[in-house]
Structure 1
Amino acid sequence: METNTKFRTSNPDETHVYFLSFSVVMIIEHLFHPVIRDKAVLERTVSYYVRIISHKYLYWNRSLGADHFMLSCHDWGPRATWYVRQLYYNSIRVLCNANTSEHFNPKKDASFPEINLKTGEITGLTGGSPPSNHTVLTFFAGKMHGKLRPTLFQHWMGKDEDVQVYETLPQGISYHEMMKKSRYCICPSGHEVASPRIAEAIYADCVPVLISQHYIFPFSDVLDWDSFTVQVPVTEIPDLKNILEAIPEDQYSRMQERVKQVQRHFLVNNPPERYDVFNMIIPSIWLRRLNVRF
């Protein structure tokens, strides 16, 4: 936003929506005790931040925070909004953990894709292999945490060479190469509903298999997630292989082609480019702003 004046104005009276620029990550990194991690620090900091802007400027009180938005991909992003009633109930919350069981409200809140840039590099993220090289039916590697993954591990870890599920990858096997070799990539929720595996699968031309509960998918205002993903209820994890093998070849080919088409919407660019993740989240926020009535 700071490098493109198209999205900024120096006149606050012309502003349609105001960005609450506190960072949950920075609060935890710089203010938390490394051992105690007292969440009261989060409460004090966010409450103080809102109190400052509501006293210094007239815009928060004018709408009770309804035309303000915050953004966080940290697990504690939703928690950071608990402590200010107007922030929680009125403001637009842009969150990776878009969990309706924790009162994520799709009418006013926006879901943001969790993207793990392990090295900080934003180039060379995409590029799968030809369809003929996708010889593994489905693949997952990750820690056993949360409510859903234990069921996945119980039924499939080490049970079937077509359903390759690992908690720790064997030595010499590349995580990203396995994604590029797989037709379907399993993306189960862990401690939180969001998973960076969704974006990783899309980058690898691998059809995501979404196993989650209460999750609002990113950009679902404009993207038809049913057209490029397979969504498997938790109760049907034991039947996962049959579900995937029952998908006709032409349907799989269409889904994989659509995965390639939506890749650009999950890319991070500097500066941002048309249709990338930045230019997808801006309309998501704007659509929620349209719901605000003074």
Structure 2
Amino acid sequence: MVWNDQGLGADEVNVTSASTTIKRYSRLEKLEANLAGVRASIREAARVRNLTSTHEDPDYVPKGPIYRNANAFHRSYLEMERLFKIYVYEEGDPPIFHNGPCKSIYSTEGRFIHEMEMDNNIYRTRDPDEALVYFLPFSVVMLVQYLYAADSHNTDSIGRAVIDYVNVISDKHPFWNRSLGADHFMLSCHDWGPRTSSYVPHLYHKSIRVLCNANTSEGFNPSKDASFPEIHLRTGEIKGLLGGLSPSRRSILAFFAGRLHGHIRYLLLNEWKEKDQDVQVYDQLPHGVSYESMLKKSRFCLCPSGYEVANPRVVEAIYAECIPVLISDSYVPPFSDVLDWKSFSVQIQVKDIPNIKTILMGISQSQYLRMHRRVKQVQRHFVVNGPSKRFDVFNMIVHSIWLRRLNIHIENQVA
């Protein structure tokens, strides 16, 4: 018998290792059994077609047509709070890992990483064996900032960093190999999120990718990937961004201001710039005109995709209580599993850009008022709080991840 440094025989080590493995996988089976019960309870709740949830809640009871099914969403949310545990891998050093910008167009990425790693986060667990999903806390924004050679158009250095990181995770822990990454998630608000994930095939094809660039033409898969709202917090706070004029005082039918950024913006500016006082489209606002004030006094806010599908105007419109008009052919809006976007937004195909005024003028005053009320209601699901509050944007992102975890079943695979 060969002895190790602790004085245990090799046979004894194997027994100990096998015992640990059996314990781990029996815990996994228990977790999966719990999830089977959750799926059944959500299906049962979905049979209730009332517009108002039947579940009691001291903070908020989902109701109204902004939800696909208010009762099913509420049941799922309560089950998430009861059961969902997320393990955050601790490997890697800031700034590329465990870090992200909180005062930029990518602020939601940094905010999520920060909130996820707080010790008082109800979802975080330090015990990986009780986790239902595993967070890979690398920041694509930071990878680009520190590893990308400007104007090189070569992202291989970024890809190699992600490959090396996943290799470290898979060598050190059993969880990635157990599911081939299916119960792991990455999160990115950078346009290159999909490209970065493609360097690790299992990350791209099996893992949960939470992406602002929720572009179905670039491989975004709504059944396993989650759309991540892009929120531009210039100061890091939302103070002054919420609210707007009452519907009767909104004098502009539709508004957009933004750079020429992709073919959809080109079509929009070419069709509407300086053409109509009802549809005010600018590539640059006149001197002294406030962007936020224009949002707050417009009835509809145009949200055309740029080079990539996501843009912060969707949430800016919701904050300003302006009906968002989504102009894209391949964008999956955030929280589409539970929110019925048609009830509080207008979705226009790119080919219909010349018909924007006709489409918006065709919405009756009574329908517009209903949509305005719904935008004010849905606002709570997009608000950034510090620390987070129930049903806010952080918790809604977590809920999107929770739903994707419910879509899979992890089998025991003891080698």
TM range (shorter): over 0.9
Q: CA deviation at 1:35?
A: 4.9
Deviation string 1:176-203 (CA, Å, 9 cap, x unpaired) is: 1011110000000001001100000001
Deviation string 1:132-161 (CA, Å, 9 cap, x unpaired) is: 220101000001121211111121111111
Tell me, in whole angstroms, the C-alpha distance in 2 between the residues paired with 1:33 and 1:122: 33
* Cα distance change of structure 1 residues 42 and 179 upon mapping to structure 2, 3 Å threshold: same
Tell me, in whole angstroms, the C-alpha distance in 1 between the residues paired with 2:280 and 2:161: 44
Tell me, in whole angstroms, the C-alpha distance in 2 between the residues paired with 1:208 and 1:49: 39
Pick from 209, 214, 226: which aligns with 2:325? 209
Tell me, in whole angstroms, the C-alpha distance in 2 between the residues paired with 1:51 and 1:96: 25
Pick from 117, 124, 130: which aligns with 2:240? 124
Map 1:1-294 to 2 at 5 A. Answer: 1-3=116-118, 4-36=120-152, 38-293=154-409, 294=411
The percentage of counterpart residues that share the same residue type is 62
Tell me, in whole angstroms, the C-alpha distance in 2 between the residues paired with 1:262 and 1:173: 28
Tell me, in whole angstroms, the C-alpha distance in 2 between the residues paired with 1:33 and 1:112: 27
* Structure 1 stretch displaced more, 79-88 or 144-153: 144-153
Q: CA deviation at 1:131?
A: 1.5
* Structure 1 stretch displaced more, 162-171 or 140-149: 140-149
Contact 2:299–2:323 under 8 Å retained in 1: yes
How many residue pairs are counted as aligned between the two chains? 294
Which structure has more relative contact order (CA 8 Å, sep 6+)? It is 1
The secondary structure found in structure 1 opposite 2:231 is coil
Tell me, in whole angstroms, the C-alpha distance in 2 between the residues paired with 1:275 and 1:287: 15
Structure 1 counterpart of 2:289, which letter?
A: I
Q: CA deviation at 1:37?
A: 5.9
Q: Which residue of 1 aligns with 2:4?
A: none
TM-score by length of 1: 0.97
Q: CA deviation at 1:5?
A: 4.0
The secondary structure found in structure 1 opposite 2:316 is helix
Tell me, in whole angstroms, the C-alpha distance in 1 between the residues paired with 2:238 and 2:268: 31
Tell me, in whole angstroms, the C-alpha distance in 1 between the residues paired with 2:152 and 2:307: 20
Tell me, in whole angstroms, the C-alpha distance in 2 between the residues paired with 1:39 and 1:239: 39
Q: CA deviation at 1:36?
A: 3.5
Contact 2:241–2:292 under 8 Å retained in 1: no
Q: CA deviation at 1:31?
A: 2.3
Tell me, in whole angstroms, the C-alpha distance in 2 between the residues paired with 1:282 and 1:122: 20
* Cα distance change of structure 1 residues 210 and 35 upon mapping to structure 2, 3 Å threshold: closer
